[in-house]
């Protein structure tokens, strides 16, 4: 299987008890539902749930097709709603495409939040939930 970003070879790799499909050329990777929470060290709740919204976001590449879901088009979503990190998310199976360097940015962002001791207020939590709902 080839990478949709650079046409490199996607290879299964196991790291931190998480199996990813990593591109040997650009170093981006596919990660299945639930595994992003395992990969990024954090004390917070569900990073994946907090990251999925239905607003238009842009990044450096176009729409990707999920490698796990028979080529379903993915949506662009903002990592935990407040960062400037845009991930590709499959609404069918819950997988993410993580661009090269994004995992490190996500970890740095979580470290910064946890170091500052900032806790979400109930208003921020409600806003995050409402923001993640599809627009009708």
State pLDDT tens for residues 34-88: 888 888 776 666 666 655 655 666 677 788 999 999 879 988 888 876 678 888 8
Beta strands in the chain (DSSP E): 10-15, 18-23, 29-31, 75-78, 86-89, 96-98
Global pTM reads 0.75
Quick check: helix, strand or coil at residue 63? coil
Per-residue model confidence (pLDDT) at position 45: 64
CA 106 to chain centre: 9
What is the structure's pLDDT at 17?
A: 83
Render pLDDT for 79-117 as a digit per residue (tens, 0 to 9).
876 678 888 889 899 999 999 998 888 888 888 877 766
Looking at residue 29, its pLDDT comes to 92
pLDDT given at position 46: 63
Ranges of each domain in the chain: 10-132
* CA 81 to mean position of chain CA atoms: 11
* Residue 131, φ and ψ in degrees, nearest 5: -65, -30
- Three-class SS of residue 26? coil
Residues 25, 27: Cα–Cα separation, whole Å? 6
Confidence (pLDDT) at 8 = 95
Instruction: Tell me how far apart the 2 most distant CA atoms of the chain are, in Å.
Output: 44
Residue 69: φ, ψ to 5°: -120, 45
pLDDT of residue 120: 53
Q: How many CB atoms lie within 10 A of CB 94?
A: 19
């Amino acid at each position: 299987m080839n990478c949709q970003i650079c046409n490199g070879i996607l290879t299964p790799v196991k790291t931190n008890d998480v199996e990813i499909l990593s591109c040997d050329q650009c170093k981006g990777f596919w990660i299945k539902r639930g595994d992003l929470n395992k990969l990024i060290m954090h004390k917070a709740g569900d990073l994946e749930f907090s990251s999925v919204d239905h607003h238009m976001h842009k990044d450096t590449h176009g729409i990707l097709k999920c490698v796990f879901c028979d080529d379903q088009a993915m949506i662009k979503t903002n990592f935990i709603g407040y960062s400037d990190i845009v991930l590709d998310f499959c609404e069918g199976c819950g997988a993410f495409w993580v661009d090269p360097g994004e995992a490190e940015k996500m970890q740095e962002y979580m470290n910064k939040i946890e170091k500052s001791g900032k806790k979400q207020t109930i208003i921020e939590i409600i806003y995050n939930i409402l923001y993640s709902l599809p627009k009708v």
